[in-house]
Amino acid sequence: MKNITKFDLKILKKIQKNLCSPTLDKVMIGATRLGTAGAVWIGIGGLMMLSKKYRRCGFTLAAAVSFDVFANNILVKNLFHRARPCDVDQTVALKIRRPFGASFPSGHTLTSVTAATILTLNKKSFGLGAIPLAALISFSRMYLFVHYPSDIAAATALGIGLGSAAYALEKKALPAPKEEA
């Protein structure tokens, strides 16, 4: 794990050195806020539930993201206890308050990728907005020095798996919307 952390820190330092700017700081802080506790995705799910046509997708989205937040923060992070990059290298000034809990895996990334997967599988055109937003939220966590690239990679893989499983469960367990005559 030491070698992975060492490699991760090199990548994070390159991000800090080559990309950081006051303008991008604002964009990344805003992106991270959107992803906190899966808020943007739960909100999208809630809005979708208002439409008969997308209610099933909205329910699946809100339920899966809520499950992710709980399972990741209560179970998974406590299993690994990985220190955040900002705790390992305190030479980088944080632009946000230090997040609660352990680093591995990234909860922002997990909820974002789960949501983007569900939305894309339900309707490809939904992915045109969801995938770039999920990528931005995920990258913001590295930019802000609160997650390692390996935290993001693991959460991405987990999010694709969980999103695909939630979509399959939606298709199997929830009734299809009735076609209007």
Contacts of 41 (CB under 8 A, 6+ apart): 61, 62, 65, 111, 112, 114, 115
Average pLDDT along the chain, 181 residues, taken 10 residues at a time: 88 95 96 93 94 92 90 86 92 91 93 96 94 98 97 96 92 71 47
In three-state secondary structure terms, 8 is helix
Question: Tokens 């989205």 — which residue?
Answer: 61
CATH number at residue 92: 1.20.144.10
CA triple 29-33-43, angle to 5 deg? 150
Number of compact structural domains in the chain: 1
- Domain of 163, in residue numbers: 10-173
Q: Rounded CA gap, 132 and 80, in Å?
A: 28
Q: What is the DSSP string of 79-126?
A: HH-PPPHHHH-TTSPPSSPPPSS--SSPHHHHHHHHHHHHHHHH-HHH
Q: Please check whether residue 88 lies inside any domain of the structure.
A: yes
Question: Tokens 């991008």 — which residue?
Answer: 24
Q: Please check whether residue 178 lies inside any domain of the structure.
A: no
Q: Please check whether residue 143 lies inside any domain of the structure.
A: yes
Q: Please check whether residue 160 lies inside any domain of the structure.
A: yes
Q: What is the pLDDT of residue 77?
A: 85
Q: Please check whether residue 72 lies inside any domain of the structure.
A: yes
CA triple 163-156-38, angle to 5 deg? 65
Q: What is the pLDDT of residue 181?
A: 47
Q: Please check whether residue 3 lies inside any domain of the structure.
A: no
